[in-house]
Structure 1
């Protein structure tokens, strides 16, 4: 890809356009398959050559834009800049997270305040080694997400 990377909004708009175009091509291919079937049933396949040429055209031109949009998203994802001004606790926006232990290291009171919990609750979660990931949002707020095994390993068996 030559030139500057598109913004996420531009890339999303292009992806939507390409997906709608791909949907149209799939609908056309479905109609073509039905036409091939009807030609075979009612006209002994006399029009199959022309219909095959249309199918070949769809095959040659139908998804080039989709592949280009996929490449564009891949490049955009690989080269997304990080915000150097954001406080660095290891998380850089939605989708990037750090463990609760790493987030709270040497700053439990401040970490608890950011999460909206007490320092005691934070300390308990750390002692129990709960599987909690902390995500830092672009606006500087944080969200904590806990991963648990389901069903719980010590769960009683049904009688």
Structure 2
């Protein structure tokens, strides 16, 4: 079959639908299991066979759509490169004071500086932002007026 691939949005909507359908089927399976258990406790298992057949029917027919949605995503992944979010790093800036709050030693290690440098930068009010990167690393960037003096006010 050579039908065109769905767009990412169409595939995501189909996947959401299929996952919600699968969720319903799993809830029904759970309810059937409870019904079988209750049937054994209170009715000697007289309806257990029919309930088990219904459970088998659900398990045999219920997840084909999920597999189809997974295949659609696989095809999309092969045909369209994932969109790159160039804004991610700009939007993810965290003020140093917030980044290091309660964990200055760890923050210093993550930035490759001494803990004292973190402490002093926060104490004197330097405007420093930390950017997390997809690979788990961090960089810190300082915002300074231009032109600036060589020393910050208040630094000793």
TM-score interval w.r.t. the shorter chain? Answer: 0.5 to 0.7
User: CA-to-partner distance for each residue in 1:5-58, whole Å, 9 max, x for gaps?
Assistant: 000110011011001100110110011011000001001111111011101101
Among residues 84, 96, 102, which one is paired with 1:94 in the alignment?
84
Unaligned stretches of 5+ residues in structure 1? 83-91, 97-129, 131-142, 150-159
Aligned equivalents of 1:18, 1:72: Cα separation in 2: 12
Structure with greater Cα Rg: 2
Partner of 2:55 in structure 1? 55
Aligned equivalents of 2:37, 2:7: Cα separation in 1: 45
Partner of 2:137 in structure 1? 148
Unaligned stretches of 5+ residues in structure 2? 87-110, 112-130, 139-156
Aligned equivalents of 1:147, 1:59: Cα separation in 2: 41
Matched residue count = 94
Aligned equivalents of 2:56, 2:137: Cα separation in 1: 51
For the residue of structure 1 that corresponds to 2:42, the secondary structure is helix
Deviation >4 Å, runs of 4+: none
1:73 corresponds to 2:73: yes
For the residue of structure 2 that corresponds to 1:41, the secondary structure is helix
- Greater helix proportion: 2
Q: State TM-score, norm by structure 1.
A: 0.53
